[in-house]
Amino acid sequence: MALTAPAAIVRACTRAGEGGSPTAVLADGPFTDAERRAFPGRCGTSHAVFVDAREAGALGLRFFTATGELPACGHGTIAALAWAADRVGPGAFSLTAGGRRFDGRVEAHASGYRAAFDAGPVAMRDPDPREAGPVLAALGAGRAARVAGTGRERLLVPVPDAAALAGLAPDFGALRAACDAAGYLGCFVYAPAAERGRFAARMFAPSIGVDEDVANANSVACLAAHRGARVEVAMGAALGRPAVVEAEPRAGGVWLGGAAAV
């Protein structure tokens, strides 16, 4: 069955059926990249995913924000899997994005669908103070843990608790300039929750036109790789859109998962 339906809004990484990151998903077509960049604004979302599904069981994915194309997008991949399942049924899919081929799967779930995929290896390094210093100053947080990325690098920044996380009020102009200078996608700030392996987090990414992301799944993969353990991360509270993302390190990379509603 060909996936030719018009654009849908998929709430990716919902929490108990609520919230999630609204993501535009549609079958790719003869669009220019300028037209693709315009889709998030037209649909009222931060991201749009364009899906090439001409081959049965295979999805080619391209991710766009208003500022350009992303090589990878975790919540966008979860959204695309749910979109495909809504049209051809749950199951396993072969995915291609950013020049990488990887596996994904999706199953029916009480609130819609539950999807998971292989986010691949996470590259990590210690932060250079000359790069990280201006970013942290603009963020208003004290220290950086790691620089990590599945496609583009981002800064992982721990804070002591949920109150410190909620109190962040970055200077977004300065943060974008500092991230652009460092080559970072943005800053992923996280705090431990009461239960082991659970965290709350916020992702600030003005360099891609998203001051704060509702759910940044690839950053959750980075956190799981940094800690070397499975994590469950709650996001979106500051935006009134509760979201949750799960990540688990496995041989050769990290698997990401989350629920989604089409």
Residue 24, both tokens = 């535009």
The per-residue pLDDT for 2 is: 43
Q: Which amino acid is at 246?
A: E
The per-residue pLDDT for 230 is: 97
CA–CA distance, 114 with 158 (Å, rounded to integer) = 28
Pairing of strands 100-109, 243-250: unpaired
Q: What is the distance in angstroms between the CA of the first residue and the CA of the last residue of the chain? A: 18
The per-residue pLDDT for 3 is: 47
The per-residue pLDDT for 145 is: 82
- Domains identified in the chain and CATH numbers: 8-118 (3.10.310.10), 123-261 (3.10.310.10)
CA atoms within 13 A on the CB side of 101: 4
pLDDT tens digits, the chain, 262 residues: what are they? 344 447 899 999 999 999 999 999 999 999 999 999 999 999 999 999 999 998 899 999 999 999 999 999 999 999 999 999 999 999 999 999 999 999 999 999 988 999 999 999 999 999 999 999 999 999 998 788 899 998 889 999 999 999 999 999 999 999 999 999 999 999 999 999 988 889 999 999 999 999 999 999 999 999 999 999 999 999 999 999 999 999 999 988 999 999 999 9
CA–CA distance, 259 with 244 (Å, rounded to integer) = 8
For helices 217-227 and 74-88, the axis angle rounded to 10 degrees is: 120
CA 49 to chain centroid, in Å, comes to 12
Question: Cα 180–181–183 angle (5° rounding)?
Answer: 60
How much is the pTM? 0.93
Check: CB of residue 227 under 8 Å from CB of residue 190.
no
